[in-house]
Chain A
Amino acid sequence: MNIPTMITVRGYLKLAVRGERVELFINALTEAGIPVWDVKPTGMHAAEIKLLLRDFWSLRPLLKRTGCRTKVIERNGLPFRARNLWRRKAFALGLVLFFALLTALCSMVWDVQVEGNETIADEDILAAAQKEGVYPFQWIFRLQPMDKLSTNMTARLPEASWVGVERTGTRIRIQIAEADIPEKPPLMSPRHLISTRDAVVTRIYAEKGLPKVQVNSRVKKGDILISGVLGDEENSQTVVAKGEVRGLVWHEYDIEVPLVKKHKVYTGQDKERAYLVLGDRAIQLWGYGDIAYAKHEMLTFYDPFTWRTRQLPFGWMTEKIMEVTEVQQTITAEEARTEGIEAAKRDILAKYGADSRFVTQKILHDKNENGKVYMKVLFEVEETIAKELPIVYNQGE
């Protein structure tokens, strides 16, 4: 009530006044229009008053006139704080520097993260971001608005159909939605298609190139089936020959199949040994003793200790020793033959392509000797016979 405003900012003093006529001094103050407050009598001829720092220097004539003396008891408010701080310059400087540094570090991009890219390299995206002014240690206030950045980044990265840029604190997140770009066909040099082996052509289909043979013609290994050179001698162009050529091929197989087969069968009896592995040394922990089985198989499992994804040089090793017995199985000669032919057919399919078709098979020779069936079988197979041969230009002529 009636106290001047913002006394802490303007600074105020608490004075002890003593003198014969303190009342007179107070009256003089009010007449001079100097605001004072919290006037407390402390004795017969003494009082405490508070007044603004601004008015302190105008007290002197009043004091002289009323014959009072003052003593400053308290100094309060910003001007005195500022003076104290000025005395400790290094401290004040540190204070200011601290806040300045804190503000500076908070208004800096520290981290740029890229998300959602599979085929575009992170480096390319970061390079594009750098051109847009998004890089670590960049001032945040120098960044363009996020929606503008996002548009510019999308323009810079043609492989991306959308780029989202988002800032959380000092971290920039770039989200990429990649565009589906059709795969380019691999570049191929001009070529012929030639025959892989002697055959009779059963089917020829030239997607590109000039077919040189017809169905039912006999070709030798290395003959050109589909030529990659188009046109006549004067006007010619080389292309990548492409197509499908199938032909009848004969394969001769010598087959031997034993009539008695031996199988290994687990009896179910087993024994385990455990080791502690340290480096390249294994210390057996349990499972000592001889192996009591006549025949056995051993399975070894090594389980190294890992730290995150790194393998440590020690771990557990277990060996499982399982008893096996041999079982003999006798088959008839007829079964042995079918088995042998099936095995040969599987071999052909594996070697010459799964789309091979068996046309005929002929057992040329067949004998049963020493507990084995020996056969010579001729297979007539329709299979793909085309192979690429690059066209090499004659140089120097």
Chain B
Amino acid sequence: MSRISRKLQNLMQEVLDLPQDLMFDLPRLTLIGNKELHIENHRGVRHFSDERLVLALSQGSLEISGAGLSIQAIQSHEVTVMGTIHHIQYSETGEKP
């Protein structure tokens, strides 16, 4: 993405007041207590176990750790995670799945 187009995008976002997840393809997380986590705009599962779930994002990855994690439903851009969630950690670097 060139510098000009990025600047243009930033300008658009500021002028039109659009949500960032639409503009920059960022993930949107909806956390209900520590029981349920709904993530939009993911890019696939990278690691999946009882205590740890790593999701790929457009930039970097999202690591969710907890206990008794399970994916209640998964579609190409959405995932609903159930279980007891302890940490949600964002890491900028990460290879593509």
Contact = CB atoms under 8 A, between A and B. Distances in A.
A41 B75 contact: no
Nearest to A37: B73
A38 interface: yes
Interface in A1-34: 1-3, 22-24, 26-27, 29-31, 33
A30 B73 contact: no
B21 to A, nearest CB: 18
B49 interface: yes
Contacts of B46: 23
B76 A22 contact: no
B48 A36 contact: no
Nearest to B78: A2
Contacts of B48: 22-23, 26, 39, 41, 47
Contacts of B49: 41, 44
B45 A1 contact: no
A23 B72 contact: no
Contacts of B74: 26, 29-30, 36-37, 39
A178 B46 CA distance: 92
A35 B70 contact: no
Chain B's interface size range is 10 to 19
Nearest to B51: A41
A30 to B, nearest CB: 5
B94 interface: no
Given A2-B80, A41-B49, A41-B50, A30 B75 contact: yes
Chain B's interface: helix, strand, loop or mixed, by majority? Answer: strand
Contacts of A2: 72-73, 75, 78, 80
A1 B97 contact: no
A40 interface: yes
Interface in B54-95: 69-76, 78, 80
B27 interface: no
B76 A38 contact: no
Contact of A27 (B70, B72, B73, B97): B97
A38 B76 CA distance: 16
Contact of B76 (A3, A23, A31): A31
Contacts of B44: 23, 27, 30
Contact of B75 (A22, A23, A35, A38): A35
B72 A37 contact: yes
B20 to A, nearest CB: 24
A26 B47 CA distance: 10
Contact of A39 (B47, B71, B76, B78): B71
A21 to B, nearest CB: 10
B67 to A, nearest CB: 12
Given A23-B48, A27-B44, A27-B97, A41 B70 contact: yes
B70 A1 contact: no
Contact of B70 (A22, A31, A38): A38
B70 to A, nearest CB: 4
7 contacts: A23-B47, A26-B74, A31-B76, A37-B73, A39-B74, A41-B48, A41-B70
Interface of A: 1-3, 22-24, 26-27, 29-31, 33, 35-41, 44, 47
